[in-house]
Amino acid sequence: MGKTINLNGILIEFDRIKAIIHNDFIDNEFLKIELNKRKEYVFNPNTDKWEIQEFDDEILIEFPDNDIAITEYLDLKKIWEKELGMK
């Protein structure tokens, strides 16, 4: 497991983050974090076999208001860019 951060009680691993999204066009107190695909074996009863399926995960975090959401977005973006070495 790589570096993690705790956002409102949700532990997020930086290696799995694909995108951090905040919609600036509307007052929005939500921050959406899209994660990289994960693969799992799932039993298919039609073929009677185990198959690999990919799943898209996303985390939606609610904040008390839009200003706090924007502040958290900018802070998280800065940390994430530092982790990726993108400065």
- 64 domain residue, yes or no: yes
Domain count along the chain: 1
Residue 79 structural domain: 19-84
Task: State the DSSP string of 43-82.
Answer: EETTTTEEEEEEE--EEEEE-SSHHHHHHHHHHHHHHHHH
The answer to whether residue 73 sits within a structural domain is yes
Q: Is the pLDDT of residue 86 over 70?
A: no
Q: How many helices (H) and strands (E) does the chain have?
A: 1, 7
> Is residue 54 a part of any domain in this protein?
yes
- 2-50: pLDDT as tens digits: 788 887 788 888 888 899 999 877 777 889 999 999 999 999 999 999 9
Tell me what pLDDT residue 34 has. Answer: 94
pTM for this model (two decimals): 0.73
Question: Do strands 30-35 and 4-7 pair parallel, antiparallel, or not at all (unpaired)?
Answer: unpaired
**67 within some domain:** yes
Chain-centre distance of CA 33, in angstroms?
Answer: 3
